[in-house]
Amino acid sequence: MSGLNIGIIGCGSIARQRHAHEYKLNPNATIVGFYDFDRSRAESMTLDFGGKVFDTAEELISDSSIDAVSVCAANKYHAELTIDALNAGKHVLCEKPMAISLIECEAMVNAAKKSGKHLLIDQNQRLNNTHIKAKQILESGELGRVITFQSTFSHKGPESWSADKSANTWFFKKDAASFGSLADLGIHKIDLIRYLVGGKVKEVFSAMNTLHKTFPDGTPIEVDDNSVEILTFDDGTMGTVTTSWTNYGEENNSTIIYCEKGTMKIYLNPKYSLEIEYLDGKKTHYEIDRMQQNDDAQQTSSGAIDTFVSAILEDKKTPLDADDVIDSMRVVFACLDSSEKRVPISLT
Ligand SMILES: NC(=O)c1ccc[n+]([C@@H]2O[C@H](COP(=O)([O-])OP(=O)(O)OC[C@H]3O[C@@H](n4cnc5c(N)ncnc54)[C@H](O)[C@@H]3O)[C@@H](O)[C@H]2O)c1
């Protein structure tokens, strides 16, 4: 296979700013076309990135010229679109959160296995160079064992990013989004912590609430806008993940890992994306990259599209493979369960 033909379903912010943009920059990918419920959004994409407008998702998925599909639709549709595309013999890069139930996530992984096609989930934080460097340092053992961690993702909310920039966005509606900040932002940090710390999360204790966001008529949104999670790994390592859609200041997307022989600070210092403080007080600073922000006009590549394209062309495994990301979703669903029942939940 020399180059890939791509179809994109869902033509909102992530499709425009990351998927289409990064496919256009990839010499091995050509965009064949777009589909969106809102035809004008698909049309606008063709003007900027080429390709044609499809009339339905089925038409795009069954187009024999298309090798691979990006699923950039609302959360509710991830599983159905992904499974249909896999069954039609396409490789799929699906946006996070993977799907809205564990049964759906499992069906996606099974469909990928059955079809023999690649299924990647866009947990792009695993691809940040700073996170990759942090993982290498942790795995080298120079900081000893991880004892505890704090990871947080907070910003002013999806209504400032979504194609529909209003408090009526689908992100606030249970039917389309299913989850709020915990799964929208927390999945990134839960997945990152699993990636960095390694091992298995054995227990979660979580609380989430709708503290401040409202629909235009003043009624509270239907999903959580803030959450706090305590994760315990099977070796006893324990720490927190916090999420917020009500941080009206500067975005916080940082992680601190406290180890036996030092502390690692990730994306806390705007100049040095990785800082290490050793027990003797010495510090090492790494100026590696900046965390990508949704409202950053100068975004660098997320790396997800290049990873997807090379996974298919070279038929190789990647850090975004659905069969690993599904374990992060197990943690998310356990957190939702814990928050609802107000008890710790163990993952067996
Ligand atoms: N990886 C990341 O960091 C990241 C960042 C932002 C959003 N996302 C995810 O990407 C997905 C899309 O988010 P967004 O920010 O682009 O939202 P958005 O509101 O900007 O755009 C969504 C678009 O999809 C269309 N759509 C929804 N369901 C559809 C369907 N079944 N078929 C065709 N079109 C459909 C809508 O009409 C809209 O144009 C969400 O699941 C979100 O969680 C991921």
Alpha carbon of 36 to ligand 1 centroid (Å): 10
Average pLDDT taken over every residue of the chain:
95
Tell me the CATH number at 26: 3.40.50.720
d(CA 23, CA 309): 9
Residue 76 lies in a domain: yes
Which residue reads 């050509």 in tokens?
30
Count of domains for the chain: 2
Q: Is residue 310 part of a domain?
A: no
Say whether both 233 and 158 belong to one domain.
Answer: yes
Q: Which two tokens stand for residue 60?
A: 């795009």
Higher pLDDT, 128 or 300: 128
Same domain, 49 and 66: yes
**Single residue among 121, 146, 174 that ends a domain in this structure:** 121
pLDDT value of position 121: 98
Prediction pTM value: 0.96
Best of 8, 9, 11, 14 for a ligand 1 pocket test (most atoms within 8 Å of beta carbon): 14
Q: Which residues contact 291 (CB under 8 A, 6 or more apart)?
A: 128, 130, 251, 253, 254, 267, 273
Query: From the CB of 102, is ligand 1 less than 6 Å away?
Result: no
pLDDT digits (tens, 9 = 90+) for 45-81: 999 999 999 999 999 999 999 999 999 999 999 999 9
* 41 within ligand 1 shell (Cβ under 6 A): yes
Share of the chain above pLDDT 90, in %: 94
Asked if 92 and 148 sit in the same domain, the reply is no
pLDDT value, residue 60: 98
pLDDT for the residue 244: 98
Are 177 and 184 in contact, with CB atoms under 8 Å apart?
A: yes
Q: Note whether 73 and 139 are same-domain residues.
A: no
What's the confidence (pLDDT) of residue 293?
Answer: 62
CA pair distance 172, 220, nearest whole angstrom: 9
Mean pLDDT in residue range 187-193: 98
Q: Is 77 in the pocket of ligand 1 (CB under 6 A)?
A: yes
For residue 301, what pLDDT is reported? 76
Strand (E) positions, 27-145? 29-35, 52-53, 68-71, 91-94, 119-121
First to last CA, the chain: 41
Does any domain span residue 308?
no
Which stretches within 141-278 are classed as H helix?
A: 174-177, 181-184, 186-197
- Residue span of the structural domain in which 199 resides: 125-297+319-346
| Residue 289: pLDDT band with limits 50, 70, 90 | confident
- Assess whether 196 and 88 both reside in one domain: no
Same domain, 82 and 147: no
For the residues 253-263, what does the mean pLDDT come to?
A: 98
CA-closest residue to ligand 1 atom 36: 10
β pairing state of 91-94 and 68-71: parallel
Percentage of residues in the chain with pLDDT exceeding 70? 97
Pocket-testing residue among 17, 34, 37, ligand 1, by greatest number of atoms within 8 A of Cβ: 37
Whether 288 contacts 265, CB under 8 Å: no
What's the CA-to-centroid distance between 287 and ligand 1, angstroms?
32
Q: What does the pLDDT read at residue 299?
A: 57
CATH of the domain at 290: 3.30.360.10
Q: Which of 257, 222, 225, 217 is nearest to 240 (CA)?
A: 257
Give every CB contact of residue 308 below 8 A, 6+ residues apart in sequence.
68, 70, 91, 93, 118, 120, 318, 320
Interval 133-160 mean pLDDT: 97
The best mutation among 60, 96, 123, 159 to test binding of ligand 1, ranked by most ligand atoms within 8 Å of the C-beta, falls on 96
Residues 178 and 278 sit within 8 Å (Cβ to Cβ):
no
Picking from 117, 61, 334, the residue whose alpha carbon sits closest to that of residue 205 is 334
Whether residues 147 and 104 share a domain: the answer is: no
Q: Which pLDDT does position 276 carry in this prediction?
A: 98
Confidence of residue 100 (pLDDT cuts 50, 70, 90): very high
CA–CA gap between residue 76 and residue 100 (Å, rounded) = 6
pLDDT band at 141 (very low <50, low <70, confident <90, very high): very high
Q: Is 59 a domain residue?
A: yes
Q: What is the 3-state secondary structure (H, E, C) of 300-329?
A: CCCCHHHHHHHHHHCCCCCCCEHHHHHHHH
| pLDDT tens digits along 25-37 | 999 999 999 999 9
Asked if the structure places residue 303 within a domain, the reply is no
* Cα 185 to middle of ligand 1, angstroms: 14
> Which pLDDT does position 72 carry in this prediction?
98
In a domain, 153, yes or no: yes
Task: Tell me, yes or no, whether 97 and 151 share the same domain.
Answer: no
Instruction: Give the span between the Cα atoms of 265 and 245, in whole angstroms.
Output: 22
**CB-ligand 1 contact for 74 (6 Å cutoff):** yes
Residues 116 and 132 in one domain: no
Residue by residue, DSSP assigns 273-309 as SEEEEETTS-EEEE-------TT-TTPPP-SHHHHHH
Inter-residue contact 213 to 221 (CB < 8 Å):
yes
Centre of ligand 1 to C-alpha 12, Å, is 5
Task: Give the atom of ligand 1 at the shortest distance from the alpha carbon of 9.
Answer: 33
**Would you say residue 313 lies in a domain?**
no
Looking at ligand 1, which atom is closest to the CA of residue 14?
A: 16
Mark which of 66, 99, 121 sits at the end of a domain.
121
Please state, in angstroms and rounded to a whole number, the distance separating the CA atoms of residues 49 and 241.
37
Assigned domain for 26 exists: yes
Q: 15 CA to middle of ligand 1, Å?
A: 7
Report CA(147)–ligand 1 centroid distance (Å). 36
- Please, is 98 exposed, middle or buried when counting C-beta atoms within 10 Å of its C-beta (0-12, 13-18, 19+)? buried
Mean per-residue pLDDT, 230-250: 97
CA 211 / ligand 1 centre spacing (Å): 24
114 plus 204 within the same structural domain:
no
Based on the fold, state whether residues 95 and 240 are members of the same structural domain: no
CB of 22 sitting under 6 A from ligand 1: no
Structural tokens at position 23: 């496919």
> DSSP states of 165-190 as a string?
-STT-GGG-HHHH---HHHHTHHHHH
pLDDT of residue 102: 98
Give the tens place of pLDDT for each residue, 291-342: 776 555 455 678 999 999 999 999 999 999 999 999 999 999 999 999 999 9
Both 223 and 275 in one domain: the answer is yes
Domain end residue (candidates: 121, 148, 176): 121
Give the pLDDT confidence score for residue 290 in this predicted structure: 82
